[in-house]
């Protein structure tokens, strides 16, 4: 394989692994704001215990997010030097803003959130929690802005020729609010919320199944199911808006997502199927005219197909089509489990219905898979461009590296990630088995006040 393909695989591997964690921080961050908000409002100590427990899990996902994020920071420069030179001026301000506003808001107030329970007032602590949650969301904002610029570049000017060409920012706010930023940001953040919500549902269902911490798990289940229902509906709206944006701004990507080869009137929507690239046909269950309707809001206007896109500007259609459809299937599974669980909740049978508890336990994976394949759709769908319409992926790679180097580093990353994932599961399992504190934690020892609590919170208990 050539350096470009290997570097793409490496980037997919490192960013895919990284993207397990930030959605969890963002989603759990949102839920922490809600849990602690209820505590502040009702003074019910149950919600303090809930918040305390999930703060610990948050700290773990945050730590893993930082460790894997370090790899991302290196990754642009090591494998995509040409691309880094090209986008540096644009990415610089977005990533700089991410580093400072987001990362430090998060890291800074994480300390207060973790070990400030008895040091600051309840109101101040809630403020810290809001800051941490806001920080994790800001992080998503700037990363998605930078990525959206790669999808729909705007507010820049390309200067220089050939290898020396680069994009220079001419209008900062036009760059930030490029045509796809808002749609994609909403879509990504909702996806993150689902990751956090279903993680909480999964742990709650596990406790119910084991008949442990019942009061605790019922409270988190109730709020989690309610939020899941709302966010799933919002995601449906966001998905529609995002796809129509793609149809306007990146027709080649939309054609690949829906497997459209020929531009024809009343373009059908393929619900389930496969792409036959040899015969240029998409087979499966199709609804005539539905894609035309979804894109144009009428059943006849044709949707741009591959036949209108130059051969060397078409993304790989099969994988984009399937990734996109798996994402939708995952939404369906999440909707299904939420409806089933809400129904049983109303009937007060949920804690006794094992199959739905098991369904909820495994549902932690659905938003994770949806997030992964969603990004695959977005990034593979942009091919062969690394910056849409401006720079081809093949021109973005570092000219100084050779295949054997990348093969070696891919092997290294696989080893590291197996190790990190084992560490994550080990510490996570430890925390889940330990469970929430059953009574309000004792007042801190005067001789080692903050130390002990921070250690506890970050899970560094010795054995």
Partner 1 sequence: MNEFTLSLLWYLIIGVCVIFYVALDGFDLGVGIMNFFTKKDQERRIFLNSIGPVWDGNEVWLVIVGGALFAGFPDVYATLFSGFYNLCMILLAGLIFRAVAIEFRSKRESKKWRLIWDAIFSFSSLFIAFGLGLVLGNLMDGIPLNDDKDFVGSFAMVFRPFPILIGIFTVSLLMVHGSVYLAMKTEGVLHNRLRVWAKRCMWVFVGIFVFTSVITWIQAPQLVIRFKEEPFFLIVPILALLAILNVPRMFARNWDGWAFLSSCASIVLLFCVFGIGTFPYLVRSSIKPEANSLSFFNASASALTLKVLLIIVGIGIPLVLAYGTMIYRIFRGKVKIDKTSY
Neighbouring C-alpha atoms within 13 Å toward the C-beta of 12: 15
The nearest distance, CB 68 to partner 1, in angstroms, is 9
Contact pick of 32, 59, 150, 169 for partner 1 (by CB under 8 A): 169
Q: Is-contact 363 396, C-beta < 8 A?
A: no
**CB-neighbour burial class of residue 183 (10 A; exposed 0-12, middle 13-18, buried 19+):** buried
CA distances from 87 to 139, 371, 380 (A): 19, 25, 19
Name which of 339 and 401 has its Cβ closer to partner 1: 401
364 SS3 class? coil
The span from the CA of 128 to the CA of 139, in Å, is: 16
Contact pick of 5, 131, 229, 454 for partner 1 (by CB under 8 A): 454
Q: For the chain, give the longest Cα–Cα distance.
A: 77
Contact pick of 42, 44, 74, 336 for partner 1 (by CB under 8 A): 74
Residue of 296, 365, 377, 298 lying closest to 330 (CA atoms): 365
**Residues binding partner 1: number (CB under 8 A):** 64
Whole-angstrom Cα Rg for the chain: 24
Name which of 132 and 232 has its Cβ closer to partner 1: 132
Q: Is 398 in the site for partner 1 (CB under 8 A)?
A: yes
Taken as a whole, the chain contains a residue count of 463
CA distances from 228 to 195, 224, 296, 382 (A): 10, 6, 29, 30
Question: Looking only at residues 75 through 104 of this chain, which bind partner 1 when binding is defined by CB under 8 A?
Answer: 76-79, 81-82, 84-85, 87-93, 95-97, 99-101, 103-104
The span from the CA of 311 to the CA of 295, in Å, is: 23
Residue span binding partner 1 (CB under 8 A) among the ranges 21-29, 237-245, 318-326, 419-427:
419-427
The nearest distance, CB 30 to partner 1, in angstroms, is 23
Question: Looking only at residues 102 through 161 of this chain, which bind partner 1 when binding is defined by CB under 8 A?
Answer: 103-104, 107-108, 111
Contact pick of 236, 362, 419, 425 for partner 1 (by CB under 8 A): 419
Q: Is-contact 453 117, C-beta < 8 A?
A: yes
Strand partners, 273: 284
Question: Looking only at residues 423 through 442 of this chain, which bind partner 1 when binding is defined by CB under 8 A?
Answer: 423
- Between helix 317-346 and helix 354-362 the angle, nearest 10°, is 140
Contact pick of 160, 172, 421, 440 for partner 1 (by CB under 8 A): 172
Q: Is 452 in the site for partner 1 (CB under 8 A)?
A: yes
Name which of 99 and 288 has its Cβ closer to partner 1: 99
Q: Can you say whether the dihedral through the CA atoms of 412, 414, 417, 422 is positive or negative? A: negative
Binding flags for partner 1, 221-240, as an x/- string (CB under 8 A): --------------------
Neighbouring C-alpha atoms within 13 Å toward the C-beta of 369: 18
The span from the CA of 16 to the CA of 39, in Å, is: 35
The nearest distance, CB 161 to partner 1, in angstroms, is 12
Q: Is 181 in the site for partner 1 (CB under 8 A)?
A: no
Q: Is 272 in the site for partner 1 (CB under 8 A)?
A: no
Strand-strand pairing, 166-169 and 391-392: unpaired
Q: Is-contact 292 267, C-beta < 8 A?
A: yes
Name which of 343 and 426 has its Cβ closer to partner 1: 426
Name which of 301 and 458 has its Cβ closer to partner 1: 458
Residue span binding partner 1 (CB under 8 A) among the ranges 61-69, 214-222, 226-234, 281-289:
61-69
Q: Is 350 in the site for partner 1 (CB under 8 A)?
A: no
Binding positions for partner 1, rule: CB under 8 A: 63, 66-67, 69-71, 73-74, 76-79, 81-82, 84-85, 87-93, 95-97, 99-101, 103-104, 107-108, 111, 163-164, 166, 168-170, 172, 398-401, 405, 408-409, 412, 416, 419-420, 423, 448, 450-452, 454-456, 460-463
């Amino acid at each position: 394989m050539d350096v470009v393909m290997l570097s793409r695989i490496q980037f997919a591997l490192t960013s895919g692994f990284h993207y397990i964690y930030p959605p969890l921080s963002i989603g759990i961050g949102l839920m922490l704001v809600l849990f602690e908000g209820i505590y502040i409002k009702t003074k019910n100590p149950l919600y303090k215990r809930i918040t305390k427990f999930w703060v610990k899990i948050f700290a773990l996902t945050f730590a893993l997010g930082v460790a894997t994020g370090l790899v991302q920071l290196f990754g642009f420069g090591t494998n995509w030097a040409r691309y880094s030179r090209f986008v540096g001026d644009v990415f610089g301000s977005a990533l700089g803003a991410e580093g400072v506003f987001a990362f430090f808001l998060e890291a800074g107030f994480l300390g207060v959130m973790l070990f400030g329970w008895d040091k600051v007032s309840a109101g101040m602590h809630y403020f810290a929690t809001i800051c941490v949650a806001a920080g994790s969301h800001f992080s998503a904002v700037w990363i998605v802005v930078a990525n959206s610029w790669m999808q729909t570049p705007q507010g820049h000017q390309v200067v220089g020729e050939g290898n020396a060409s680069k994009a220079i920012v001419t209008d900062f706010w036009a760059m930030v609010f490029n045509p796809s930023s808002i749609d994609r940001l909403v879509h990504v953040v909702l996806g993150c919320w689902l990751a956090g919500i279903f993680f909480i549902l999964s742990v709650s269902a596990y406790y119910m199944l084991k008949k442990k911490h019942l009061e605790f798990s019922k409270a988190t289940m109730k709020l989690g199911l309610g939020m899941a229902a709302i966010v799933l509906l919002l995601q449906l709206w966001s998905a529609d808006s995002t796809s129509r944006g793609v149809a306007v701004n990146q027709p080649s990507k939309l054609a690949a997502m829906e497997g459209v080869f020929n531009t024809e009137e009343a373009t059908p929507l393929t619900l389930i199927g496969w792409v036959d690239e040899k015969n240029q046909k998409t087979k499966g269950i199709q609804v005539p005219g539905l894609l035309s309707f979804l894109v144009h809001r009428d059943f006849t206007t044709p949707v741009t197909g591959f036949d209108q896109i130059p051969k060397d500007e078409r993304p790989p259609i099969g994988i984009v089509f399937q990734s996109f459809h798996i994402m939708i299937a995952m939404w369906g599974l999440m909707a299904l489990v939420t409806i089933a669980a809400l129904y049983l909740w109303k009937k007060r049978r949920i804690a006794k219905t094992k199959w739905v508890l098991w369904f909820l336990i495994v549902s932690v994976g659905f938003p994770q898979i949806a997030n992964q394949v969603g990004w695959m759709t977005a990034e593979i769908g942009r091919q062969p461009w690394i910056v849409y319409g401006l720079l081809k992926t093949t021109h973005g790679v570092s000219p100084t590296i050779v295949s054997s180097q990348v093969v070696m580093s891919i092997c290294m990353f696989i080893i590291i990630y197996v190790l990190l994932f084992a560490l994550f599961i080990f510490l996570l399992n430890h925390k889940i088995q330990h469970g929430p504190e059953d009574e309000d934690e004792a007042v801190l020892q005067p001789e080692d006040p903050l130390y002990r609590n921070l250690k506890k919170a970050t899970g560094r208990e010795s054995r």
